[in-house]
Structure 1
Amino acid sequence: MKIAEFSVKNYQFTIIIFIMVLALGLNSLFNMPRGEDPTFKSPQFGVVVVYPGTSPTDMEELVVDPLEEKLNELDDIKNIRADIDDGLAVIRVEFTYDADPDKKYDEVLREINNSRSSLPEGIIDLHVQKFTPSDVNILQVALISETAPYKVLEKQAEELQERLEKIKSLKNIDTWAFPEQQVRISVDLGKMASYRIGLNKVLGAIQSENANIPGGSIEAGTKKFNVKTSGDYASIDEIRNTVIQSSGGQTIYLKDIADVNFNYENESYLARLNGKRAVFVTASQKDGMNIYHVRDQVNPVLEAFQKTLPATIQYEKSFDQSESVAHRLSGFTRDFAIAIFLVLLTLLPLGFRASVVVMISIPLSLAIGLALLDFAGFSINQLSIVGLVVALGLLVDDSIVVVENIARYLRMGYRPKDAAIAATRQIGVAVLGCTATLIFAFLPLMFLPEAAGDFIRSLPMAVVTTVLASLFVSLTIVPFLSSLILKEEAHEEGNFFLRGLKQLIGGSYRQLLNKAIAYPIATLFIALAIFVGSLALVPVVGFSLFPKSDKPQFLITVETPLGTSLYETDRIAREVEKVLNTKKGIKNYATNVGRGNPRIYYNVIQKNESANFAEIFVQLENMPPKEIEHFVDELRVNFTDYPNAKIQVKQFEQGPPIDAPIAIRIFGEDLDSLRSLAFKVEHIIKNTPGTIYVENPLTTLKTDLQVRINKDKAGILGIPVSEIDRTIRMGIAGLPVGMFRQDNGDEYQINVSLPRGNRQTMAAFDQMYVHSGTGTLVPLRHLADVQLKASPTIVRHYDKDRYVTVNAFVRTGYLTDNVTTEILQKLDTFDFPDGYRYMPAGELESRQESFGGLGTIVIVTVFGILAILILEFKTFKSTLIVLSVIPLGIIGAVLMLLFTGNSFSFTATIGLIALVGIEIKNSILLVDYTNQLRQNGMGLDEAIQEAGETRFIPIILTTLTAIGGLIPLVLENSPLYSPLALVIIGGLISSTLLTRVVTPVLYKLLPPRVEVAKEAAVLA
């Protein structure tokens, strides 16, 4: 290797490179973006349509079908889903993952805007929502007070919002959980009747008085003056003094027939922290920012704001993602220290000086790896750090092999510089081939499709960049340092540890290898039988996708029957709080009634307003994943079969967002038939062992109040139906008639309604009067009846077809894949009517998407590795012998997962793919050296024996360092990355033990053709 010779002879240049590399790595370490989870894009959008008074079927025909037809014409559509309810439709458009989210957002917006003119005129809202995974809140602050008015809490929350908005690294600063203030005009219909004033006259007077019509401008001489007219209302008193009617010398003002005051809109979202009334302020960070730098900017602002709060309001930072990131990264720092210590222990046989050289290569390789990772646009997050920890056990492999070979040349009598150059030249090609195959082994992981690929990509990228760096270091810096630091050993066989290891090899291993070579066929059959036996255990181990999160956080959702009031849902949420107050280990809990908790996890979307829904975000003190599972299971027992409510305790899941681990979509056109089939599928899922929280959205039908208008009577009295509808709207929800702007810029909606408290009751119908054509006010009860009526079924579309989804979660101790397989087997025997079908969704669908494009990448990888091996060895036999190590590693991987109770999860599969590259590295070293010995004239059996013994030490050392680097990941007991480490460790153990016998035996049976060097032939 010329590069090694250059680095040894030009030490000044090498030192400069050394310093520059270290500086570059330190710069990346301190300036790289930091976050808890990797970021990934999300090319999906929501189209929200509000069309009051429209039934789901009418909304489907008049609004959703035309919009779906337009949206379906766009390129790169993956699927279109729609949820259609009374007066509301939400259409979710998802594009293929490789689409540009910004470009597709513009396309959706363009199609929606072009469709507006063809949609019904009564639509009051039509907008497009953009879903961005990076919009996860990193901060949630609670302002707590049981006594302060919402007006005061709102003012303080908005003050904090304004302060946080000045921090350039933050975005999406929002305030939550307080009703907006409004100017409420509570009309007295009795007084209106006595003055013979209709509702239209009141509304028209207010709107005309509040009109702001510019007067234009006039010129006087050289001056130009803008003419200001009466303009908007300037005060509440002006609103009260609005002239409603003036006749016969009598003027009726608004204050004569109504009360005008500041008030609050109807409560639709209640929040508490640890059971105390609160409002929330949340913020997310901009893309590419370092969460520690953001924290350092935010904390002073929060501390300064806290000092300005009145005594009646308590401040608490209820959620701070930087604390979780700091805890996780500090844990990885500890793991790194442990891994480095374990790696150091494995280097003892090399001797102190050789160990120093190898240890110096670690920070250098990491520094270059970090710089390359930063250059590629990745951040420091939990998965990139796992990649660095995995790489720690691999990056020293090249250095160990080179240093061990240099030390061997020194024992052969070479001078330090000559030994460094000659030893590196001899093993350089093998090291290069090892690194190339390892990189190709990680290639499938770097190009995994969909969101799962983006989520995991920083892990293999961290490994690849660091291993590439270690190759560079091992062929440049390591020979240079070895030429300066290594000295000739006092003993020709090395230090005490090395001699002991050689004696062990010479004793047990030599005898075992001799027997194996004597009985090659029997040896291979034994190895094959072990491999086949391990494959038979794969179904027992089972499959899964992404595991539960190990974060000490979870959600409790409360769902009451459709139509339940907000305050009844709140009552049940308070019962949940009482249970939480009895539990130890809870850090805090945030209760949200009427809406989901503001978004705090990358794959959980906040649920929109719904009176029958509540969500409690619970944070625990730091505890191991198993304890978190036990805590959750205990709570599930507490809330099982709670009367008149579904209370579910859900841990966060890793990976791309899915509705539930198990989901079955049922397709068909008739809504009643769909509902019937949904009940039957729900029964099948409930009776499958391992399922929990089975959810069928069609279980209950919503009951509404319907006002049946006597149109004949209304016609006789000269009352338009629209006037009756408007009066009902005014009496129940209120009618917005404009905006009131104060001098400080604050805006408040002006709302005309009947007198009420916090909420309207059935008594409102008795207070409603409708203005007739003759000028009299007719009681609503004379024109209409109020009846209870079942609401039409919610209509859902998937790619324009009607469907319903039945979801389920999986109990602790069960594998999602096994439970799903059993459900699908039952559904396969279920007789669906013609025109009706089912489709599995949930984790199964996500797994198919995540691994769907993997086949092509694996084929490219396999041929890439084959190409590297053939280029290196020039023979197919040598390539086959090297690849024979792969099944031997699978044996240990399967057994390790079985013994530890883990399944073949997404990350365990990644570990298996990575294992292939690590195993091949060791096999290359053995086969390459055997070929070299034969080229030098040594006989076949002698070369096999010599290569097995000589390469045993570096292979054992590299294996032990890899295992040592991975042990901390196992001790973390993380459901995400511990299986990855276990697979690699198990595979390395089995492959190291078995290939030391199987590979030489296979070499004996299939000896590659080797050209003997001329000098060796002469000597022979």
Structure 2
Amino acid sequence: MLALTRLSVAKPLAVIAIFVAVAIAGLLAYSALPINLLPSVNIPVVTIITPYPGAGPTEVERLVTQVIEDSVASISNLDVMTSTSSEGASTIALTFTDKANPDLIATTVERQVNAVVQSLPPEAQRPTVTKIDLSALPVMQLALISDTLPGTDLFNIADQTVSPEFQKVNGVSQVSLIGGQKREIQVAIDPYRLAGYGISLAQLQTGLGGDNLSAPAGTLDSGARDYNLRVNALVRRPEDLSDVVIGGTADSPIHVRDVASVTVTGQVPTGVTRVNGHTGVLLRLTQQNGANTTAIADAIKQELPALRAQLPAGAQLLVVSDTSTSIRTAIAGVQEELITAVVLTAVILLLFLHLLRVSFIVLLSIPTTLLAAFVIMGLLGFSLNELSTLGLVLSIGILVDDSIVILENILRHVAQGETPPQAAIIGRAEIGLAALAITLVDVVIFAPVGLVSGTIGSFFKEFGFTVAATTLMSLVVSFTLTPMLASKLLRSGTDLERRGGPLAAFARWWDRGFLSLEERYGRLLAWSLVHRPIVLVGAFSTLVLAAYLVGSGRVGINFFPNTDQGTFTISTTMPPGTSLGAHDAVMREIEGQLLQVPEIQHGILSASIGGASSGPFAGGTAGATNGSVSVDVGDKSLRKRGITAIAEEVRQRLAGVPGAKIQVNVSGVIQGPDSTVLNSLAGQLEESFQGIAGLRDITNSSAAALPELDINVDRARAAQAGVSAQSIGSAVRLAYSGVVATKYRQPDGQDLDVRILLAQNARTQVSNLGELPLQGTNGPIRLSQIATITDVTTPSQINRRDRHRQVTVAANLGDGVVQSQVTPAVQQAVNRLALPPGYTTLQGGSAQQQAQSFGQLGTALVISILLAYLLMAILYNSLIHPGLPLAFSGAVVATFLFRYTLNVFSMIGMILLVGLAIKNGILLVDRTNHNRARGMERSAALLEAGPARLRAILMTSLTIAASLTPTAFQLGEGADLRAPLAATVLGGVISSTALTLVVVPVVYTLLDGLTSRAARLAHLRLTGVRLSTARGSSLPLGQQVAERMWRGDATNGRAQRNGRPRDRAAVPPTTRDRGDA
């Protein structure tokens, strides 16, 4: 590396040319980097969704869920399999281990599912296999609303006019429609007239399907030409379907109109969608993997004026949510913090060095290194997101460290009379090992962050690797560009104090003050070396304080920081069996309450009940019992209240509304084979949750029962009538869920479904179920003749984990309650359950995510510490660094003072502190070892190294603190997500710097003393000679020197400064190589 420095000083134009090329490449890479809110995370999770219209949860579990679970259970690297069997749909989620290939797992799962598709009920729709992709989350959500247009027209406009234009936008992968009613032709059956004519439902279905078709019929060869034959019997108008013959005789045919009415209408509504109180259709636009979110949003907005011009009177197209807004806010906030950090760093450099040229050299290293980092980010496929940009902000304090340490040493040699080129080479060589150690420590600390397993590791991968890459580039800059610029810009004998003017006066005043600080620190260090027990007790007390803050709950522990993105969601869960109309009445009450909140009046309020109309979840239904209200109150800079205060007012307003809740934080999961036992255990756990302070909105998944009419077929009577169980099920499903018998081709080429089902008034009367006509071998019969109908209850949904049933007891956290305050009580409640053999409990909710993520990050923390210690052992023969626990204690205290919580971002901050705390120690230990190699005694070497390295240590620590201060105080927009990390590192850096300057030398003497004692004992055993301490004193010589300095011996104090020749005179030559205990 020294040869690289010599070459750079000798060939400055070559260095400039190389870094100009790097800067140009960095600018090009920066312009090409995609901009997203968060990193692209490749989650090894695959979902399998199988709609089964008309089927209850028990039937869905038995006929669909279990069949598919058995088919995919043997796939290698499968970690966890969960499933939910609900009314009309089966949903299975497969989570794979890190060993699985995330690009192939969806194909493997689909192959296994396809192998059992033939085993599923004919009425079940084909399963949809989807790999979870966080980058495919909606980039924008729009709403087409109107108070005058019917739902069918709104859906048709959204589907035929708006959606196709958005699908053309580069980067949009899918447009999903939610709400509205798709147009169809309904054949509404009168069951009494159908029975009166002796026509079965199957005959009606067959008649419609067979009389409205267009089918190829072969080829006619006339010799000269070949003609394709096609039978075209399609109806010309919807009303022509009424004339289709479905039975009777030639003289007395029975037409569709005789037993049913034919109308063009909307599908039977399974949900409701409104925006700001207006009926509408939501359009969710998702982006392609790796696409630029902001570019897509801009392209979508460019299409809006033309689309709005095409809308009929009374229709509006609104932007409900725009992910790019929060991205721009977050990135802009980080960039503001970046600029603020650079300015504060410049101020610190001027304060300590008071040379504009020196400050310019250091500041030039920042953009140079960052531009080089952009190149690496582009090569690695990273994006500009909140975490990678935060890594760049943190890098500012780190990357100037190398330049500061080197320039400070170069200036020392220039002041001693060496020419700038000589000082640049010698100063770089002298500090080379320390600079290399500092950089390598940063790399081994940050790299494990990007290598953490699981989802949390993927989430922080770009952050860790960005910082590591930036740190490596800063090392290259410090060995090349920095010494080259120093050799050209610095002047021999440059001394600002010899000049005139206000800046020179300030420089003289500052240097006098800093000289006084050095002397005071020297005396403090000397006192510490004499009173080592007191220092260690003081350091230990900081650890006790940190432990108390966490253990007492004064510093809470959460999975994720509390953020204010301006949005929250209210979910509604009504009792099973609640009709759509009843749920809608509750939803309107919620909307009315919300619109009274001032911030919501100026925001966006979208309410939905039921499932999606199109998109990846089409075909299934969330049921009329589940709904949600999404609230967007806009940018917090435009509001007087934070999102927490607004949400609390909403919670109070909705306290009396049944079924409304904002979120679920805590849950306990019980797993076992028998539903009755599970329900009993869940009831016990629910009762225990009721007694835990801090929990509210407690729910029990086993308590929800769905009303069901159970049709029990008498097999003997059915066989005698010639009716199969399958035909009974098909007839009931046709009557109440509807079946598409055929399609009607419209003049514009679009097809409309022709759906057969009972008329509305017949579907709502329980008594009509028994009168349902069936076709037997001896003629039509009624359902009640071969079956009994019983009113029973069934679970509203059945949850399973790894092919075993499970129930969940969930709760929300109370006001001001954090996760860590209730987790022990929740865990005790779960542990108190008397579980029979075969039953287990699992941790659920955000507590489960917290435990998993903290475990993974804890592993990364241990690895980082081990790697850093191994590096210290290799370079400095030291395995102990007392600054680490002191840094952690400062991090906890800072978290308490800022009123943040310990979370995954705080854990990342703890990992960063490992490197930052060790760096100061490296500077001190490296100088001490250098002094001892020159012949200085241990304590004297420490007493010289401390003041000599004080300036560099304070400068590096203050630059890191300056780069983090804007983020910790949330001076930039959208900083609440990253603020806990910044506060953790800021507090840790301050505490470790303040205490390391004193504690590290004390521990150094203790460890070195132990080594010396061991060597003496070994020598005694070999020679039998007793060693004595310095003549005339019972104290070792080093402590005599320290005590003289502590008492104010000016000669010794001044002799220990700046590494000048007087250093060696402070210690008698005969004792320079001695160690003392």
Moved more, 776-785 or 926-935: 776-785
Deviation at 1:486, TM superposition (A): 2.3
Partner in structure 1 of residue 249 of structure 2: 247
Q: 1:550 aligns with which of 551, 557, 564?
A: 564
After the TM superposition, which residues 271-290 of structure 1 pair with which residues of structure 2 at under 5 Å, given as runs? 271-290=273-292
Moved more, 605-614 or 272-281: 605-614
Paired residues, what number?
999
Deviation at 1:1005, TM superposition (A): 4.3
Deviation at 1:125, TM superposition (A): 4.2
After the TM superposition, which residues 854-1003 of structure 1 pair with which residues of structure 2 at under 5 Å, given as runs? 857-858=860-861, 860-873=863-876, 875-876=877-878, 879-880=879-880, 883-972=881-970, 974-1003=975-1004
Secondary structure at the counterpart of residue 213 of structure 1: strand
* d(CA) in 2 for partners of 1:196, 1:599: 41
* d(CA) in 2 for partners of 1:596, 1:907: 35
Matched, 1:748 2:752: yes
Q: 2:495 aligns with which of 482, 490, 493?
A: 490
Q: Are the equivalent residues in 2 in contact too, given 1:212–1:232 (CA < 8 A)? A: yes
After the TM superposition, which residues 177-576 of structure 1 pair with which residues of structure 2 at under 5 Å, given as runs? 177-189=179-191, 192=194, 196-245=198-247, 247=249, 249-348=251-350, 349-351=352-354, 352-487=356-491, 488-490=493-495, 495-496=507-508, 498-540=510-552, 541-576=555-590
Partner in structure 2 of residue 637 of structure 1: 652
After the TM superposition, which residues 642-657 of structure 1 pair with which residues of structure 2 at under 5 Å, given as runs? 642=657, 645-650=658-663
After the TM superposition, which residues 47-86 of structure 1 pair with which residues of structure 2 at under 5 Å, given as runs? 47-50=48-51, 60-61=61-62, 63-85=64-86
After the TM superposition, which residues 486-885 of structure 1 pair with which residues of structure 2 at under 5 Å, given as runs? 486-487=490-491, 488-490=493-495, 495-496=507-508, 498-540=510-552, 541-586=555-600, 587-595=603-611, 609-623=622-636, 627-642=642-657, 645-650=658-663, 660-706=664-710, 726-756=730-760, 760-762=763-765, 765=768, 770=773, 788-792=791-795, 794-853=797-856, 857-858=860-861, 860-873=863-876, 875-876=877-878, 879-880=879-880, 883-885=881-883
Partner in structure 2 of residue 173 of structure 1: 175
What letter matches 2:485 in structure 1? Answer: L
CA deviation digits over 1:495-548, x for unaligned, max 9?
A: 336513422324421221222233334333433344344344432334332233
What letter matches 1:294 in structure 2? Answer: I
After the TM superposition, which residues 154-165 of structure 1 pair with which residues of structure 2 at under 5 Å, given as runs? 154-158=155-159, 159-165=161-167
What letter matches 2:427 in structure 1? Answer: A
Deviation at 1:122, TM superposition (A): 5.9
CA 1:134–1:341: 2 relative to 1, 3 Å = same
CA deviation digits over 1:381-437, x for unaligned, max 9?
A: 111121111112221111111122222222111222222222112112211110101
For normalisation by structure 2, the TM-score amounts to: 0.86
Moved more, 280-289 or 510-519: 510-519
Moved more, 912-921 or 701-710: 701-710
Matched, 1:30 2:31: yes
Moved more, 941-950 or 460-469: 941-950
CA 1:360–1:259: 2 relative to 1, 3 Å = same
Q: Are the equivalent residues in 2 in contact too, given 1:31–1:290 (CA < 8 A)? A: no
Deviation at 1:379, TM superposition (A): 1.1
* d(CA) in 1 for partners of 2:7, 2:776: 103
For normalisation by structure 1, the TM-score amounts to: 0.91
What letter matches 1:344 in structure 2? Answer: A
* d(CA) in 1 for partners of 2:562, 2:615: 18
CA 1:237–1:843: 2 relative to 1, 3 Å = closer
Q: Are the equivalent residues in 2 in contact too, given 1:723–1:770 (CA < 8 A)? A: no
Secondary structure at the counterpart of residue 621 of structure 1: coil
What letter matches 1:31 in structure 2? Answer: A
CA 1:979–1:501: 2 relative to 1, 3 Å = farther
CA 1:548–1:610: 2 relative to 1, 3 Å = farther
* d(CA) in 2 for partners of 1:57, 1:427: 73
Q: Are the equivalent residues in 1 in contact too, given 2:685–2:829 (CA < 8 A)? A: no
Q: Are the equivalent residues in 2 in contact too, given 1:635–1:649 (CA < 8 A)? A: no
CA deviation digits over 1:857-880, x for unaligned, max 9?
A: 55553443233223323x34xx54
Deviation at 1:220, TM superposition (A): 3.3
Deviation at 1:369, TM superposition (A): 1.6
Q: Are the equivalent residues in 2 in contact too, given 1:731–1:765 (CA < 8 A)? A: no
Partner in structure 2 of residue 6 of structure 1: 7
What letter matches 2:675 in structure 1? Answer: L
Deviation at 1:989, TM superposition (A): 1.4
* d(CA) in 1 for partners of 2:770, 2:747: 36
CA 1:784–1:767: 2 relative to 1, 3 Å = closer
Deviation at 1:969, TM superposition (A): 0.8
CA 1:939–1:227: 2 relative to 1, 3 Å = same
Secondary structure at the counterpart of residue 343 of structure 1: helix
CA deviation digits over 1:786-821, x for unaligned, max 9?
A: 653222574332112222121222224222123111
Moved more, 52-61 or 615-624: 52-61
Deviation at 1:123, TM superposition (A): 4.4
* d(CA) in 2 for partners of 1:583, 1:87: 37
* d(CA) in 2 for partners of 1:449, 1:631: 37
* d(CA) in 2 for partners of 1:837, 1:30: 53
* d(CA) in 1 for partners of 2:849, 2:615: 22
Q: Are the equivalent residues in 1 in contact too, given 2:712–2:787 (CA < 8 A)? A: yes
* d(CA) in 2 for partners of 1:856, 1:582: 48
Q: Are the equivalent residues in 2 in contact too, given 1:51–1:125 (CA < 8 A)? A: no
**Percent of aligned pairs with the same amino acid:** 27
CA 1:949–1:373: 2 relative to 1, 3 Å = same
CA 1:363–1:899: 2 relative to 1, 3 Å = same
Deviation at 1:236, TM superposition (A): 2.1
* d(CA) in 1 for partners of 2:173, 2:647: 33
What letter matches 2:832 in structure 1? Answer: T
* d(CA) in 2 for partners of 1:599, 1:194: 42
CA deviation digits over 1:168-205, x for unaligned, max 9?
A: 31101122212221111234455556655444433222
Q: Are the equivalent residues in 2 in contact too, given 1:765–1:780 (CA < 8 A)? A: no
Q: Are the equivalent residues in 1 in contact too, given 2:202–2:775 (CA < 8 A)? A: no
* d(CA) in 1 for partners of 2:203, 2:67: 38
* d(CA) in 1 for partners of 2:574, 2:296: 39
Deviation at 1:142, TM superposition (A): 0.7
CA 1:947–1:237: 2 relative to 1, 3 Å = same
Q: Are the equivalent residues in 2 in contact too, given 1:144–1:276 (CA < 8 A)? A: yes
* d(CA) in 2 for partners of 1:31, 1:536: 49
Deviation at 1:700, TM superposition (A): 2.9
Partner in structure 2 of residue 134 of structure 1: 135
Moved more, 341-350 or 206-215: 206-215
Deviation at 1:157, TM superposition (A): 0.8
* d(CA) in 2 for partners of 1:739, 1:607: 21
Secondary structure at the counterpart of residue 830 of structure 2: helix
Gaps of 5+ in 2: 499-503, 1013-1058, 1070-1077
CA 1:856–1:732: 2 relative to 1, 3 Å = closer
Q: Are the equivalent residues in 1 in contact too, given 2:170–2:296 (CA < 8 A)? A: no
Secondary structure at the counterpart of residue 41 of structure 2: coil
CA 1:789–1:932: 2 relative to 1, 3 Å = same
Moved more, 946-955 or 720-729: 720-729
